[in-house]
Amino acid sequence: MNSLKFLNQKKLIYAINEETLFSYKPEESDFLSEKKVAEYGLKREINIEKLEIIFKDSLDATKVSKFTGINDLDPTHYDCYLGIHLHYYLRLSRAEASRPEVWNSIIFQNSFAKEYIKQRGLIGSSKFNIDSTNLLVKNLNDLHRRNFISAAWWITELTRNGNDYDYSKKAFNCTRVLLERFGTLNYFHNQLLALATAEFFHNFDKRVSPTVISRRDALAVPPNFGVSIKDFINSRNIEVIYEPIKINTDKFVKWQSEKTRNMKTIKGPDDFKVKKLQIDKVVNEFESLAQKRGWIS
């Protein structure tokens, strides 16, 4: 197994500039010591053997279209393919994925990762010019929003329903505005609320006429719909009204420790399951909020 070696974050930030973005090659002294690896909770071996294939396939429009079921591809559909495949293959915990060292170690030891970021940026805009802010993960904003690779993993993690990635696909189908606006919100780290948000917005145009307001404006124009959702959360005792979600850590660890990967049958860990009835109840609340805004008559 080809395991990920972790770069020292401080040394990497010092070494990377616009001239060394693509030429940087780590020396042995650039990696974290075993003591630091353990201190950061990164002792688990992370298999990176097939990452090159995943990055290349994530730019293949035919494969992305087949996987997402979308013919008219939006840039975020490429993120969808990458995020779900990375989530299944790497099997990171949230604690591991919150470490910038993980993502920087992948990006700066894999030329295909850099190429993915470059090409993905150009898919979104022909004026995209890759620089250190696109490649180097320094903070929470980079982790959840700016970096195409780490952000794709996080949206997948936040919107999966246990082993089911269908809601993740719905979230990616909401364009990048949802991913950028909601990924860093505390409430979006609640499985039920994240799933309901993905469900509500992925077919927003069927709920709300585009002549009233577009999905993009509902997500982005102040006060965006996230404000209404936060007001809703503050006015409800969520844990009392809705069934608490029970996380089965043992099942996650079992999934995480599996050695084989079947890339044709991709399923996440069966560590929880939010009932559709619960999700629909929250979606109904969101529709009521949309009515109050005059979006639904």
State the pLDDT at residue 81.
Answer: 98
Which residue, 121, 131, 188, 203, is CA-closest to 154?
Answer: 188
pTM score of the predicted model: 0.94
State the pLDDT at residue 179.
Answer: 76
Residue stretches of the chain with pLDDT short of 50: none
State the pLDDT at residue 226.
Answer: 82
**What percent of the residues of the chain are helix, what percent strand, and what percent coil, each to the nearest 5?**
60, 0, 40
State the pLDDT at residue 169.
Answer: 96
State the pLDDT at residue 152.
Answer: 95
Residue whose token pair is 């069927």: 206
- Residue at 42: amino acid letter: L
| Digit-coded pLDDT (tens) for 43-97 | 999 999 999 999 999 999 999 999 999 999 999 999 999 999 999 999 999 999 9
Cite the beta strand spans of the chain per DSSP E: none
